[in-house]
Amino acid sequence: MIILYSMIMIQLPELVGKIQNDLSAVGIQPTILHAYTDPAKRCTIHDPDRIAKVLTIFLLQLESALQGSSCALQWDYREGTLSATLQGRFPPERETVLTRTRVSLQCLGGTLTVEQEGCQLTLPLPTIPPPSSYTPKNPLEAFLEPASLKPPKNLTGRASEGTPSIFDPTVLQQACPDEEFSQQLLEDFLSHCKTLLLELEHLITHGEDLVKIHRIAHSIKGGGMNVGAFRLAEVARWMEQQAKAGRTEGLQEALNCLKDEELLLESAYREYYGQEANPPGRG
Amino acid sequence: MDKKQILLAEDEFTARKLLEFQLKRLNIVFDSVETGADALEYFRQGSYKLVLLDEYMPGLNGSEVAREIRKIDPTVPLLAMTSDPEAIPRLKEAGFREVFVKPLHGKVHLDIILGYLS
């Protein structure tokens, strides 16, 4: 069996390298495709919970695709290491430790391609609901409808059935028909959003100045609405309301969620405008 | 001094950039600032046919700026922007002739602005 990881959205170059090495060590020669490896476009996440969440979904997809195999993921907080174990059909009765490494992630989402005996199966990732034994810690659960917890098959598109859209490009298209301007505005928003998230992190960690938190959440909400990032805006709106009401409960979870949503937005944006296209103003 | 058509005050940069883009496409001459204090300073030093103020800004908010502008020029049309629809009655009472609810999707706000300028 050949496993192809089509890294369209998930960027795990270090992890994928380890997987390649580990599988090679047990006699499997995987072909691993990196479709998006520009280091300038990568960002590093050091939050183990988020890494674990993303990889758990990814491995559950892999598990399902391989039918009968099982995956396990462990994070060692003390060592800062991630251990993923895949057990199953290749090779039979043999446990393969995929990796044990520090990882950096680009974002959620992606495509998993499995090729077996010349028959290629491509799965949008992630689309399979997690098993009952898996309890996601997605903080969106606290304030979004359960339906929206399932990552969408397509990251871009209009909101539907009451579920906020990660990125609706038609919003900016209607506001300004100049695609270069829209692209630059989105780039600027993403950059600004990262700065605001860092400020939020500092505020929440150091005393929770609710006035400032309210203002930043308001800014993210407004910007998100303007660029069509409705899920990001929805989480920010929740945080804004909490801060306005003087409540500190859930702010950290909301912040984690905002970070996830920002990465999802960036992925959806890059998907929409083309991964290899250089952002305007960057050559 | 040339009379500019619009003074725009909006702290959130995507909203401000989008409005600037739209106003430029309509060949509307404007000044754009990020705070209420700057808006007041620009208004004191300039001359405008219309003032478009975001309500929720750091420092002076839109209503506070409007109150000061009214002291200088009681007739200039004041338009407000807010993301809170419940603020509309309060903003109307504060003297804003129009209140736009953000996000400003579509072109209704532009038609209204053009109506005032014409």
- So what's the pLDDT on residue A264? 85
Closest approach of A220 to chain B, Cα-based (Å): 9
- Categorize the per-residue pLDDT at B70 as very low, low, confident or very high, splitting at 50, 70 and 90: very high
Q: Please indicate whether, in this complex, the C-beta atoms of A226 and B21 are within 8 angstroms of each other.
A: no
Spell out which residues of chain B touch residue A221, defining contact as CB-CB under 8 Å. Answer: 83
Inter-chain residue contact B14 with A189, CB threshold 8 Å: yes
The residues with which A124 forms a beta bridge, in sequence order, are A111
Q: How far is B65 from B43, CA to CA, in rounded Å? A: 10
Residue-range domains of chain B with CATH = 4-117 (3.40.50.2300)
> What's the pLDDT band for A217 if we cut at 50, 70, 90?
very high
From the list B18, B56, B103, the residue facing A218 with the nearest CB is B56
Please check the confidence at residue A38 and state whether its pLDDT lies above 90. Answer: no
pTM exceeds cut of 0.90: no
Residue A139 one-letter amino acid: P
Query: CB–CB of B18 and A176 under 8 A?
Result: yes
Q: What ipTM goes with this model?
A: 0.89
Measured distance CA(A12)–CA(A96) in Å, rounded:
18
Q: In the sheet that B98-101 helps form, which strands lie side by side, from edge to edge? A: B30-33, B4-9, B48-54, B78-82, B98-101
Lowest-confidence range among A11-25, B72-86, B94-108? Answer: A11-25
Which carries the bigger pLDDT value, residue A133 or residue A194?
A: A194
Contact state of A226 with B15 under an 8 Å Cβ cutoff? yes
May I ask the CATH architecture of the domain A140-273?
A: Up-down Bundle (1.20)
* Chain B contact set for A215 (CB, 8 A): 58
For chain A, give every residue range classified as CATH 1.20.120.160. 140-273
Q: What is the mean pLDDT of residues B44-70?
A: 94
- Between the alpha carbon of residue A196 and those of residues A49, A242, A259, B77, the distances in Å are 21, 17, 10, 34
Q: Closest chain B residue to A190 measured between Cα atoms?
A: B14
pLDDT at A42: 33
| Contact check, Cβ <8 Å, B83/A192 | no
- Provide the number of CB pairs (under 8 Å) joining chain A to chain B: 52
Nearest CA in chain A to B21: A176
For residue range B17-52, list pLDDT tens digits in order. Answer: 999 999 999 999 999 999 999 999 999 999 999 999
- The residue among A12 and A222 whose pLDDT is bigger is A222
Q: What is the pLDDT of residues A8-31, one digit of tens each?
A: 223 344 555 555 565 565 555 544
| Sequence-separated (6 or more) residues with CB below 8 Å from residue A191 | none
Pairing mode, if any, of strands B78-82 and B48-54? parallel
Matching residue, tokens 């609706």: A168
Residue found under tokens 């490494």: A101
Q: What DSSP character marks residue B100?
A: E
Q: Which residues of B touch A181 (CB under 8 A)?
A: 21
Residues A221, A227, A230, CA angle at the centre, nearest 5°? Answer: 55
